[in-house]
């Protein structure tokens, strides 16, 4: 089975790819953008399944799904997202996606879903589709938004504090509040949620 993991977040992309390889997926390729995913598909041949990050550069909503489907000879393509809504998931299926895979999905479940979709099935996680929709607005203060920008850029609390003229302990408190407001487990997930909700 050939799988392409296309995501602009390095850690997410490489983690998924390594796990798939460890679970016996024979051929796993990666791409950082829609254009790179299209180029790899053209250069190396069709993939049995492509995982396509919904918020990746070049995607333009679901338009990127249609572009890649055409290049990949209509083979299955699933959307991958850290925090998209149920509406996006339904729209993706309606637009021809083979499934919708939350980045929070357990690793073993993700492998099962990938094999299922590669075999022609359509995957929508029941827990995700029946849960409450995430809030569209997180009610962040301007200062919290500034800190969030720093998190998204991968800066440490000390670096963010230096940029904003604040003490490191103050930044730490802002990060804690941000995680609570965004319902994030850690600073990395907070940055991903902010990106996927277009809060930055």
Strands 99-102 and 49-53: unpaired
For the cut 80, the answer to whether the pLDDT of residue 196 exceeds it is: no
pLDDT in tens, 147-184: 998 998 899 999 999 999 999 999 999 999 888 888 88
Helix, strand, coil percentages in the chain from 3-state DSSP, rounded to 5: 50, 10, 35
CA pair distance 101, 79, nearest whole angstrom: 6
Query: Is 92 part of a structural domain of the chain?
Result: yes
What pLDDT does 130 receive?
Answer: 58
Q: Give the DSSP letter string of 36-100.
A: HHHHHHHHH---SEEEEETTSTT-TTTHHHHHHHHHTTT--EEEEESS--HHHHHHHHHTT-SEE
What pLDDT does 48 receive?
Answer: 95
Q: What is the mean pLDDT of the chain?
A: 87
Q: Pick the residue with more confidence: 29 or 128?
A: 29
Do residues 189 and 160 both lie within one domain?
Answer: yes
pLDDT in tens, 15-60: 999 999 999 998 999 999 999 999 999 999 899 999 999 988 899 8
For the cut 80, the answer to whether the pLDDT of residue 138 exceeds it is: no
**Triad 60, 8, 89: Cα angle to 5°:** 50
What pLDDT does 86 receive?
Answer: 77
What pLDDT does 133 receive?
Answer: 43
Residue 167: give the domain boundaries. Answer: 142-196
CA pair distance 164, 187, nearest whole angstrom: 18
Query: Is 29 part of a structural domain of the chain?
Result: yes
Do residues 115 and 62 both lie within one domain?
Answer: yes
In what side-by-side order are the strands of the sheet with 49-53? 27-31, 2-6, 49-53, 77-81, 99-102
Do residues 43 and 113 both lie within one domain?
Answer: yes
Query: Is 86 part of a structural domain of the chain?
Result: yes
């Amino acid at each position: 089975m050939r799988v392409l993991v296309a995501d602009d977040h390095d850690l997410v992309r490489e983690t998924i790819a390594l796990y798939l390889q460890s679970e016996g997926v024979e051929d796993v390729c990666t791409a950082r953008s829609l254009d790179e995913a299209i180029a790899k598909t053209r250069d190396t041949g069709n993939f049995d399944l492509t995982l396509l990050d919904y918020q990746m550069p070049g995607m333009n909503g679901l338009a990127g799904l249609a572009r890649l489907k055409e290049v990949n000879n209509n083979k299955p393509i699933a959307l991958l997202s850290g925090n998209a809504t149920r509406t996006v998931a339904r729209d993706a299926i309606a637009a021809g996606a083979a499934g919708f895979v939350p980045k929070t999905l357990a690793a073993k479940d993700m492998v099962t879903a990938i094999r299922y979709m590669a075999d022609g099935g359509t995957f929508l996680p029941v827990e995700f589709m029946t849960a409450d929709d995430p809030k569209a607005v997180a009610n962040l203060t301007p200062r919290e938004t500034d800190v969030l920008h720093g998190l998204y850029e991968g800066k440490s609390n000390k670096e963010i504090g230096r940029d904003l003229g604040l003490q490191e302990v103050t930044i730490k408190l802002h990060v804690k509040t941000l995680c609570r407001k965004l319902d994030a487990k850690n600073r990395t997930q907070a940055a991903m949620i902010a990106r996927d909700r277009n809060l930055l």
